[in-house]
Amino acid sequence: MIFCHCAVVGDREVARAIDAGADTVAAVCKATGAGQQCGSCIFSVRRVVCDHQAQSQDPRKLGSQAMGMVQRTPAIGADVAAS
Ligand code: FES
């Protein structure tokens, strides 16, 4: 299935990028070219990354960290970008 119609990137390309070590949405997009133009495919790519990480049973990489989103750091009360 094609996720990114702008760059013609499908689920196989995304899975290959993840298998090659891309463990964030940003890394997958960089590796595949998805999400670089209109951005409408980001949520589909994010879902595949999260599903893959859930299957690999590494709960530390689930949620906002996998999405490259901003998260709150309670200790200092500041917003920081997740790596
Ligand atoms: S559909 Fe992926 S960048 Fe447009």
Domain boundaries, the chain: 2-81
Count of residues for the chain? Answer: 83
pTM, 2 dp: 0.67
Degrees, nearest 5: CA angle 62-38-68: 20
pLDDT of residue 45: 93
In order of 5, 52, 62, 77, the CA distances from 17 in angstroms are: 17, 11, 17, 34
Whether the CB of 6 sits within 6 Å of ligand 1 = yes
Determine the Cα–Cα distance for residues 26 and 69; give it in Å rounded to an integer: 10
How many angstroms is it from 6 CA to the middle of ligand 1? 4
Whether the CB of 56 sits within 6 Å of ligand 1 = no
Q: Answer whether residue 72 shows pLDDT above 80.
A: no
Whether the CB of 41 sits within 6 Å of ligand 1 = yes
Extract the tokens encoding 63. Answer: 């949620």
CATH superfamily, domain 2-81, is BFD-like [2Fe-2S]-binding domain (1.10.10.1100)
Query: Alpha helices, DSSP H only, in 6-41?
Result: 11-19, 25-32
pLDDT digits (tens, 9 = 90+) for 22-68: 999 999 999 999 999 999 999 999 999 998 888 876 555 555 555 55
